[in-house]
Amino acid sequence: MNTIQIGGLVSFTTIDYPGKLAAVLFLVGCPIRCAYCSNPHLIPVGAGEYDPDKVLEWLRSRVGKLEAVVFSGGEALMQADALFDYMRRVREMGFAIGLHTNGFYPENLARCADLIDWVGIDYKATKTNYEKLTGVNIAYDHMLKSLDVWANTGKPAEVRVTCDPRFVSVADLREIAMDVASRGFKNFAVQKYIPHFEEPENPTTAQMRNAFFADKELRAEIDSLFETVAWRE
């Protein structure tokens, strides 16, 4: 069995798993190439920087202090069997298991659903702009399948949109929110786009990035669709 490849670790967070003190493991490898990716160093498939056994040893020292471990990336589900084995070992310590995913691997999500307690799923854009943003023409359909896979589990989730105005308009955000609500999700997040690197084409402005949050009518409409909406400015 392949060994899990861990490219980063956050030892303590209160924001990556709702209501729980958590650590985050960032796995290497991602099948898409988002224009605004904040972790481009994790995209290539290759060796991780952390020894998986030593990370497990460290996690054992956190039992009773942390409540959850979140697997992120890159795209954690790209590592499939190695990930599932590692999740089992972490779960056996008593930690809740969280997953951040772009939804590219619905079959893998279905395979490990019993191991996971909570998922954060990225809904990056409407179908019109999905390939432009991710560089992959099948990413949108895969993401929708992952939404349905998780909705069928009945377990908690957050579906979130990063509002890069180059790829998402106010009208798009409204359309996405309505689609997510129609699939039965209760928790939604609208995340402000913050450029991490120079934008090579069509640079955004602060006014463009703030437009989603300044629209009170839009906010009220989206708030009415869900039990909770996080507006992350």
Write the DSSP string, 178-210.
HHHHHTT--EEEEEE---SS--SSS---HHHHH
**What's the domain range around 111?**
6-232
The amino acid at residue 50 is Y
- What is the number of domains present in the chain? 1
Tell me, yes or no, whether 98 lies in a domain: yes
Q: Where are the alpha helices (DSSP H) in 29-102?
A: 52-61, 80-92
- DSSP β-bridge partners for residue 187: 228
**Helix, strand and coil in the chain, % to nearest 5:** 40, 20, 40
Tell me, yes or no, whether 78 lies in a domain: yes
Each residue's pLDDT tens digit, 152-211: 999 999 999 999 999 999 999 999 999 999 999 999 999 999 988 777 777 899 999 999
Strand order in the sheet with 157-163: 6-13, 22-27, 68-72, 96-101, 118-122, 157-163, 187-192, 228-232
Each residue's pLDDT tens digit, 6-64: 999 999 999 999 999 999 999 999 999 999 998 899 999 999 999 999 999 999 999 99
Tell me, yes or no, whether 192 lies in a domain: yes
Each residue's pLDDT tens digit, 68-101: 999 999 999 999 999 999 999 999 999 999 999 9
Tell me, yes or no, whether 22 lies in a domain: yes
Tell me, yes or no, whether 176 lies in a domain: yes
CATH number for the domain harbouring residue 26 = 3.20.20.70
Q: Global pTM?
A: 0.95
Tell me, yes or no, whether 37 lies in a domain: yes
Report the distance separating Cα 201 and Cα 167, nearest Å. 12
Q: Which two tokens stand for residue 19?
A: 């209501």
Report the distance separating Cα 33 and Cα 102, nearest Å. 11
Tell me, yes or no, whether 1 lies in a domain: no
Select the more confidently predicted residue: 2 or 223: 223
